[in-house]
Structure formats: structure tokens, C-alpha cells
């Protein structure tokens, strides 16, 4: 198995409570991108919570590859790109969603996102590109 590509320490700050752009490959073969909340675990895996009915989730089920791109809001020439293998699993007790919402300092009970049909997504970085 391919090893996890680590995020360089110079860009770790971009993985802390920033919004990332998740890009997946749609059924037509064209990229589909959307902003997401995420977190990078100590093991180097990016984790997030999505709903199973969203196109980005369907795309990763069909083609389990994705890129997460994070731009430094203070310097648009500094960025982090994580090219990942994607894995999707059930999240029936909403543990992943609760973790992500807490990571961003939001209140789970009042968080205005659907709680039905949630899945836990793991993005394993295989190539990391750090710019700036």
C-alpha cells in the first residue's frame, strides 16, 4: 500500500479550521468542486462528514479519489493541495459530524446542516503540494 504523504510543518496551519475546496470526478469525467469543513488527524488522514445524497459523495463512491485544496486567506499565493484516496463509511451515530462541528467551534444541536444520511469520509493524502 502507498504511504500517507505528510503535510509539511510549514503548511500545517492551513489544516486548522480553514475551509477547503474538495474536488472529485463527476460522472461526465469533469471535476466537481465544493467548499467543506474538514480536519487533519494526527495520523495524517483528512476527515469530514457529508451526506450520502450529495454529488461529491456519489462521485467518491464511483471513483474513490479526491483533492482537497486550501488557500491561505492572508496570502493567496500560499496554498496546500492534498491529492487523496477516498474512503466512505457509515456514520449512524453522527460521531464524525459531531467531531467536525466541534472542531470548528460550532454548536452541534443548532448546526443548520442535515443530520440524516450522514457518512464519514476519510481522505488519505498520497501526494502533497505546498506552495508559497
Considering its fold, how many domains does the chain have in total? 1
- Full domain range(s) for residue 120: 11-131
Cell reading at 74 = 492572508
CATH number of residue 53's parent domain: 2.30.110.10
d(CA 76, CA 79): 7
pTM attached to this predicted model: 0.94
Strands (E), 1-132: 20-25, 31-36, 39-40, 46-51, 65-72, 75-90, 118-131
Asked if residue 22 is part of any domain, the answer here is yes
pLDDT at residue 1, as a whole number: 61
Mean pLDDT of 43-69: 97
pLDDT at residue 92, as a whole number: 87
Amino acid at each position: 500500500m502507498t504511504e500517507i504523504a505528510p503535510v509539511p510543518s510549514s503548511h500545517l496551519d492551513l489544516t486548522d479550521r480553514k475551509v477547503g475546496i474538495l474536488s472529485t470526478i463527476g460522472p461526465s469525467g469533469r471535476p466537481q468542486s465544493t467548499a467543506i469543513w474538514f480536519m487533519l488527524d494526527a495520523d495524517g488522514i483528512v476527515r469530514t462528514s457529508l451526506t450520502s445524497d450529495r454529488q461529491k459523495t456519489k462521485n467518491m463512491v464511483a471513483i474513490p479519489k479526491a483533492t482537497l485544496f486550501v488557500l491561505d486567506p492572508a496570502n493567496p499565493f500560499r496554498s496546500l493541495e492534498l491529492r487523496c484516496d477516498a474512503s466512505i463509511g457509515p456514520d449512524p451515530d453522527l460521531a464524525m459530524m459531531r467531531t467536525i462541528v466541534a472542531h470548528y467551534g460550532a454548536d452541534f444541536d443548532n448546526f443548520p446542516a442535515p443530520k440524516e444520511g450522514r457518512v464519514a469520509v476519510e481522505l488519505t493524502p498520497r501526494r502533497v503540494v505546498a506552495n508559497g
